[in-house]
Copies of this chain bind each other. A is one copy, B any other.
Amino acid sequence: MNHAPRLAARRVGIDTFRENVAYLHRECPIVRAEGFIALAKIDLSVNGDGRDISAVLNVVDDERIVAPSEIGLSEQAFEQLGAPEGTQIAIAHAEPPASLHCLHRKIAGERLVRDEWMAIVADIAQRRYSKIELAAFVVACSQFELDRDEVAHLTEAMTAAGRKLDWQERPVVDKHCIGGIPGNRTSMLVVPIVAAHGMLIPKTSSRAITSPAGTADTMEVLATVELGFDRLAEIAHQLRGCLACGSVAELSPADDVLISVERPLRLDSPGQMVASILSKKRASGSTHMVLDIPVGPSAKVRSMSEAQRLKKLFEYVSRHVGMTLDAVITDGRQPIGNGIGPVLEARDVMQVLSGDPAGPNDLRQKALRLAGRVIEFDPDVRGGDGFGIARDILDSGRALQKMNEIIDAQGRRQDVPPLGRLTLDVLAGRDGFVEAIDNLEIATIARLAGAPKVSGAGVDLFRKLGDRVRADDVLYRIYADYPADLEFARRMSDRFSAYRIGDKEPSPHAFVEF
């Protein structure tokens, strides 16, 4: 690129979410001379001796955004390039990402080998794929199901592309849920119980992407969660546990980029789910993990056979990357606990920890079972003893004490956010029994109400599966802070209330038990 033309860099204050965009004026000599057109990809370089970053081109007709002598860069592109405004940037037609022929082989339905996965993931992590190419990759991987070795190589490649934490001891235990069940905040109970037992459980969680609250969002109601790695390690080593926010961008940068197309496409194929979860867990240094796979008609996994297949895939790949995995299939027919949304879920968790009889028993039971399985990773614990140990720790108050230590160490929040100021009660409308609760619909109502961005927003469930209701009973209460949010949530609940009320008392059989 020694002779490549140059233009002065300018930061354009547009957030293009994980995609580098460059803005060139239509009258810019380079656009005119080189036939660049909108959506073309260009390579940018500060030294002119290669490619620092690639970007998608938007052509601009307004000099206030970018002048003909400048190259505008979206916030992401400017940050990634890392040069100050005014730097002369060399510009060239983009060399296609080196792995593009592998992508085309995958689109054609071929099986890729390890090196090809490595090449694709490295290009994705370095943001060399456009959104269109990312979407093509995600769809291609979901259409012809990846075989288990391909998933193993994808996982390995995604781990290799990021930073890997080292805890200097083992086992390092963890607990993870594949998601999809609102209110399922078991991590905030499992971590203090397991840490109180003495095992190292440095839990890093992400914020909600499509759900009304992630563990990081809920923990943030109580304490600081954005900790640097050094501080996080210090707390974890001292207290045996923490509940912090993990940076996906750091631990699995390829996953961070892929999410930007998987989310709007609502695609979450088994291969990509396994690679995404295990690459992040491997990178965060976990050696042993209990995995929660909820099954239910509105859960991510809808049948027991599908759950069994997914479990086997997780087991195969975790062995490949050297992790010990205990995957459990759980009841995903309805939300866990009562509250949905950061403040409401934090309330449920603290009620269970403090032994408050108002605390939701389903959350308590599930957390004890999962904590028990984690505790059984301890070589000194006999198989089957975990649940009892966990229950003793919880009931003795040691888990609450541990939680308070963790909150204080991370930084107790002084201005605990209140519940939303506006409320709306949704009534049963008829006498009968709660026959079904739709996880997706109730999550959508909570999100429209403002969760997780507005931490006091969400939904509080007053009735659960099998409960008898009268027409004027409140099924759930919506909390919001802004009238427009409440209005969106109200209109959604008018159309899809998430509850089905029927005449028959459902038989109270245990759907799954572990």
Contact = CB atoms under 8 A, between A and B. Distances in A.
Q: Which of A140, A265, A267, A482 has most chain B Cβ within 10 Å?
A: A265
Given A107-B139, A139-B140, A265-B133, A61 B15 contact: yes
Contacts of A139: 107, 135-136, 139-140, 143
Contacts of A104: 266
Interface string A73-86: 00100000000000
B12 A487 contact: no
Interface string A104-135: 10011100000000000000000000111111
Interface residues of A, number: 65
A258 B501 CA distance: 44
B60 A136 contact: no
B260 A62 contact: no
A144 B140 CA distance: 10
Contact of A26 (B4, B15, B107, B454): B15
Contacts of A379: none
A288 interface: no
A448 B40 CA distance: 13
A23 B60 CA distance: 14
A249 interface: no
Interface string A15-44: 111000001001000101111011111000
B38 A17 contact: yes
B485 A14 contact: no
A133 B65 CA distance: 28
Ranked nearest first, the 8 interchain pairs of A and B with the lowest CB-CB distance are A13-B62, A17-B38, A135-B135, A13-B61, A33-B482, A15-B59, A35-B453, A139-B139
Given A35-B447, A135-B136, 18 more contacts: A3-B484, A5-B484, A14-B61, A15-B58, A17-B58, A33-B482, A34-B482, A34-B485, A34-B488, A35-B453, A35-B454, A93-B488, A107-B267, A108-B143, A130-B264, A132-B134, A139-B139, A139-B140
